[in-house]
Amino acid sequence: MESVRQFRVFISSPEDVREERAIACQILSALPSDPLLLGRVAFQVVAWDHPDGSVPLLANMTPQEAVSRELPKPSECDVVVVILWARMGTPLTEEFRKPDGNRYLSGTEWEYEDALVSKRPIILIYRKKEPPRIDLDDPEYSAKRTQYERVKSFFAQFVAPDGSIRQGVNTYLLPGDFRKQFENDIKRVVNMLQATPAEVPSTDRQNAVRAKAPTSGLGTPTRYVPSSGDTSHPGGVLDLTYSPDGNLLATAGSDGHIRFWDGDTGASAGLVRASNRPIYAICFNKTGTVLACAGLDSGTIVLETSSNNVRRILGEQLDSVLCLAFNPCDPEVLATAGHAGSIRMWNIVTGECISTWESGQLHDKVAEPRIQSAIHSLAFSPDGLLLVSAGRESVTVWRLPNAKPTIQLHSRFNLFQSICFDSNGATLAGGGRNSKIMMWNTREWSPVRTLSYHTRSVFCVRFSPDGSILASAGGDGAICICSVLTWDSYKTVAADRGSVTALAFHPTGMILASGCNDGSILTWIRATTGSYSPRFLRYRS
């Protein structure tokens, strides 16, 4: 029977966000009863005013001394949650000083720094963006203004002089928004923590802050080789994908073949010659009963996965297809797009083209009309209500079912070659020829950050199934792995030569498959030792 894992969560916040602190405690109290976590996790909430362990504030010591004496320090916890609005909190006394000699702005800053320096806990920082309400006649106006300036000073350190973001901050407007965001974030964090082995508790509280164990290094990846001994796809791998149950990995390439591999062992599991020309895109439907593939030959082939027989060919007389995607909520609906710049929605059972959309049809104040051009990537949102297409200098968001183009997201001098949603549809990532990865918040469709991990074109971006990792690959022959909570990255060369052209996560998120233009297919597995961090991904051995 699986043992219950207990995690310590430290909540640090001033009085002006008392409601949010209570919401966080409520969510942590209810989360162990979640059907997906029942009997698997428990939380110890560490907060000075928590009902189950409040701290008596003694007259013979400062409040911070009382808290530090009675409660585990942030550095001794698994997760630290910092919530701020218009107050930084009460400044600490003289004896509490930073390593550089300066005083801490408040106990909240001391708690944040204690967690940050130890490198042990995952840190979630939330900032309320609702404008603070201060009466000009308030006798405490000056003090409140000073508190607000301290909050701004605290967050100023998160932005570099060139405007780039050093550390991630989660913003919200109202307590209800915080509830939704925190519940989603803490579930992700729990998934991350469960992927790490339980730590043996120290009997000495002062030894609780320990350095991370060194990694064992990178070994040799599993290389998928067909029984004939030739390379997997002569001429290069162009796409790969796992079946929904993870039992199969399908790969396609310039040789016109689709190869099937055992999703766990990598053993060869079949071969289909789908075309005499390159196959650019392959995709399973959500039930895994069919696999669609398309390329330079006109038409999209739909295969029965049980027999590898062709069920149907869609659009034989139409232009070549560069990308395709199944609707995650309807296994019978397939979207295709390609050189002509048109998007077509198909019913794979009847073979009917349900609708056709043109990439250049967006005409509104959000974006100026664009010349119709090739579409290189398609992605459905997890709820199936949006379809996003990407091509030259822009990404277009289409709202279903009426196929209304909602907005165009522009980036000059970038031909987008890959886009994907995270697991809850809150973030969209896109990579292209300018070597950058752009991230958008799908609520306002505003850009949230630009990642510069690669030195050449980005060919593929993929979120892990739990949304905790973003993996990217490109023309520099490297796979870049980064945590969506910290945006720390670890890059490792995956190709013997040339480019990494395709990526796919196993449904468990524990295995990452990559395809290269030298025809090879490599798989990587998440390490099972050490503190959880994407930089501890290693080759599968």
184-243 confidence digits (pLDDT tens): 889 888 877 776 555 444 333 333 322 222 222 223 345 444 443 345 787 789 999 999
Whether 421 maps to a domain, the answer reads yes
The last residue of a domain, from among 470, 494, 520: 470
Least reliable range by pLDDT among 26-40, 297-311, 316-330, 493-507: 297-311
Distance CA 499, CA 380 (A): 26
Peptide bond into 401 cis (omega under 30): yes
- For residues 513 and 501, the answer to whether their CB atoms sit within 8 Å is no
Instruction: Tell which residue, 500, 512, 492, has the closest CA to residue 249.
Output: 512
Domain count for the chain, please give it: 2
The last residue of a domain, from among 470, 505, 528: 470
Distance CA 17, CA 23 (A): 10
Residues 177 and 261 in one domain: no
pLDDT bucket at 1, cuts 50 / 70 / 90:
very low
What CATH number corresponds to the domain at position 49? 3.40.50
Whether 219 maps to a domain, the answer reads no
pLDDT bucket at 153, cuts 50 / 70 / 90:
confident
Token pair for residue 306? 């049980």
State CA 192 to chain mean position distance.
12
Whether 57 maps to a domain, the answer reads yes
Angle among Cα 227, 233, 235 to the nearest 5 degrees reads 145
Whether 36 maps to a domain, the answer reads yes
Which residue range is the domain that position 153 belongs to? 5-207
pLDDT at position 172: 93
Residues 144 and 290 in one domain: no
Residue 412 has pLDDT above 70, yes or no: no
Least reliable range by pLDDT among 246-250, 375-379, 389-393, 397-401: 389-393
Whether 520 maps to a domain, the answer reads no
Angle among Cα 409, 472, 188 to the nearest 5 degrees reads 85
Whether 525 maps to a domain, the answer reads no
Residues 170 and 311 in one domain: no
Residues 281 and 189 in one domain: no
pLDDT at position 228: 39
Report, in this order, helix, strand and coil percent for the chain, each rounded to 5: 15, 40, 45
Distance CA 496, CA 236 (A): 12
Residue 80's H or E segment, with its range, is strand 79-84
- The structure tokens 């022959």 sit at 477
Rounded to an integer, the average pLDDT of 100-125 is: 82
What CATH number corresponds to the domain at position 405? 2.130.10.10
pLDDT tens per residue across span 157-177: 887 777 666 677 899 999 999
Most confident of 145-154, 202-211, 214-223, 484-493: 145-154
Residues 203 and 240 in one domain: no
Residues 185 and 241 in one domain: no
Rounded to an integer, the average pLDDT of 250-261 is: 88
pLDDT tens per residue across span 323-377: 999 999 999 999 998 887 889 999 998 888 888 887 655 433 333 334 457 888 9
Residue 51 has pLDDT above 60, yes or no: no
pLDDT at position 227: 41
Residues 142 and 20 in one domain: yes
Contacts of 51 (CB under 8 A, 6+ apart): none
- 34 or 154, higher pLDDT: 154
Distance CA 9, CA 83 (A): 13
Three-state SS for 141?
Answer: helix
Whether 83 maps to a domain, the answer reads yes
Residue 298 has pLDDT above 60, yes or no: no
Instruction: Give the length of the chain.
Output: 541
pLDDT tens per residue across span 433-463: 888 899 999 988 888 888 888 888 899 999 9
pLDDT at position 218: 28
pLDDT tens per residue across span 58-69: 444 455 454 554
pLDDT bucket at 99, cuts 50 / 70 / 90:
low
Residues 70 and 161 in one domain: yes
The last residue of a domain, from among 441, 470, 499: 470
Residue 512 has pLDDT above 90, yes or no: no
Residues 33 and 174 in one domain: yes
Whether 485 maps to a domain, the answer reads no
Residues 161 and 302 in one domain: no
pLDDT at position 89: 87
Rounded to an integer, the average pLDDT of 281-292 is: 93
pLDDT at position 95: 64
Residues 197 and 251 in one domain: no
Residues 387 and 434 in one domain: yes
